[in-house]
């Protein structure tokens, strides 16, 4: 066991320094509890859940595992403060803030109830700012990841941030699919790795069989980034498998932009409408198996997903 490995497992309170990515509709009680029970660290994806629904999912997960697990909260959620209260009241050990940069107020609120806080750092400057704000650990996620992504590759972010941040554990994410990648990043100083795409096709994942089949038959180059048509609508790029849904998104943007130009929608309403497109499209794909017009969000590591297998077998392949 390396020093970095020990730092990661000590922080997470688990056997393997492997975080499950917080994937909306996928990272629910079944997959999360399976990850934690197998020695990794599961993370529930709150997504657009209401506070009541999140509390129910936390309690249902705890009924399936006695091991630690975390909750991923999107910072733009309109009921964020109440969601944080739920996490604290339910005594979840770790909170992962995503979709932006958490403020000190949110970090301090979690700390009052002894909840450890993690956040995503897109560059070294923000990483240092988060450390000063009291963040307990960082995740650096590269362009190769699935879902909403940043512009810089994992390998570049690792070189930029790992050497600059030593005060807190740093976990690496984006495009990771095998043991060699995990070992390489930890040799460079990472405390562990976060993986999402590799776990979508776990037998414990409740994703629709058609959704899993799309992953199994895809290659890395099939996972493409969505197109932004107008700089007035700065939609965060999304990486997903190329399908009719990706083309539909381009047409959807055109209609929304036209409505804004004609005064039917305000600019803010148009921006929100475009951003909300993905929530419904992702649910159709994951839950209903609509692999044609739904959103097949995945990272470029999808090419390393070749079959459905248990969480335990995936972990054995990743860390031995």
Would you say residue 2 has pLDDT above 70?
Answer: no
| pLDDT tens profile 216-230 | 999 999 999 988 888
Percent of the chain at pLDDT above 70?
99
| pLDDT tens profile 275-306 | 778 888 999 999 999 999 999 999 999 999 99
| pLDDT tens profile 99-108 | 899 999 999 9
Three-state SS for 10?
Answer: helix
Show Cβ contacts of residue 124 under 8 Å, excluding neighbours closer than 6 positions. 160, 161, 164, 165
CB-based burial of residue 248 (10 Å sphere; 0-12 exposed, 13-18 middle, 19+ buried)? middle
| pLDDT tens profile 236-265 | 789 999 999 999 989 998 999 999 999 999
Determine the pLDDT at residue 229: 86
Three-state SS for 151?
Answer: coil
Would you say residue 199 has pLDDT above 80?
Answer: yes
Task: Count, in order, helices (H) and strands (E) of the chain.
Answer: 13, 11
Determine the pLDDT at residue 18: 98
Rounded-to-integer distance, Cα 16 and Cα 91, Å = 22
Please state which of the ranges 19-23, 48-52, 147-151 shows the lowest mean pLDDT.
Answer: 147-151
Q: Which strand (E) or helix (H) includes residue 224? A: strand 223-225
Q: Which strand (E) or helix (H) includes residue 42? A: strand 42-45
Would you report the helix, strand and coil content of the chain in percent, each value rounded to 5? 45, 15, 40
Q: Which tokens go with 6?
A: 């020990």
Of residues 128 and 5, more confidence is placed in 128
Domain definitions of the chain by residue range: 3-207+306-319, 219-297
Rounded-to-integer distance, Cα 197 and Cα 214, Å = 12
CB-based burial of residue 274 (10 Å sphere; 0-12 exposed, 13-18 middle, 19+ buried)? buried
Strands (E) across 57-174 are located at 69-74, 94-98, 116-120, 137-141, 147-148, 170-173
Would you say residue 128 has pLDDT above 80?
Answer: yes
* Band (76; pLDDT cuts 50, 70, 90): confident
Among candidates 240, 266, 235, which has minimal Cα distance to 253?
235
* Band (190; pLDDT cuts 50, 70, 90): very high
- The CATH H-level superfamily of 3-207+306-319 is Aldolase class I (3.20.20.70)
Rounded-to-integer distance, Cα 163 and Cα 124, Å = 9
């Amino acid at each position: 066991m390396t020093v970095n490995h020990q730092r990661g497992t000590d922080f997470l309170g688990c056997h393997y320094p492997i975080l499950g990515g917080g994937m909306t509709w996928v990272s629910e009680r079944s997959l999360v509890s399976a990850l934690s029970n197998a020695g990794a660290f599961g993370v529930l994806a709150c997504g657009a859940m209401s506070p009541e629904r999140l509390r129910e999912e936390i309690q249902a997960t705890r009924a399936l595992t006695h091991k630690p697990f975390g909750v991923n909260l999107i910072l733009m959620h309109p009921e964020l403060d109440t969601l944080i209260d739920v996490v604290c009241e339910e005594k979840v050990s770790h909170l992962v803030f995503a979709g932006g940069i958490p403020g000190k107020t949110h970090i301090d609120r979690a700390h009052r109830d002894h909840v450890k806080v993690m956040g995503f750092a897109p560059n070294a400057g923000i990483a240092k700012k988060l450390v000063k704000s009291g963040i307990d650990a960082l995740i650096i996620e590269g362009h190769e990841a699935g879902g909403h992504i940043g512009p810089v590759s994992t390998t570049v972010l690792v070189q930029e941030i790992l050497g600059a941040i030593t005060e807190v554990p740093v976990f690496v994410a984006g495009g990771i699919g095998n043991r060699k990648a995990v070992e390489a990043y930890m040799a460079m100083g990472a405390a562990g790795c976060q993986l999402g795409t590799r776990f979508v096709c776990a037998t414990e994942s409740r994703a629709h069989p058609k959704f899993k089949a799309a992953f199994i038959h895809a290659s890395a180059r099939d996972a493409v980034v969505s197109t932004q048509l107008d700089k007035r609508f700065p939609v965060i790029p999304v990486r997903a498998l190329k399908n009719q849904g990706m083309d539909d998104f381009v047409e959807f943007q055109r209609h929304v932009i036209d409505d804004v130009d004609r005064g039917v929608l305000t600019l803010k309403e148009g921006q929100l409408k475009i951003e909300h497109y993905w929530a419904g499209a992702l649910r159709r794909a994951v839950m209903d198996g609509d692999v044609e017009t739904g959103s097949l969000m995945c990272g470029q590591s999808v090419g390393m997903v070749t079959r459905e297998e248990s969480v335990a077998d995936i972990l054995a392949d990743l860390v031995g």
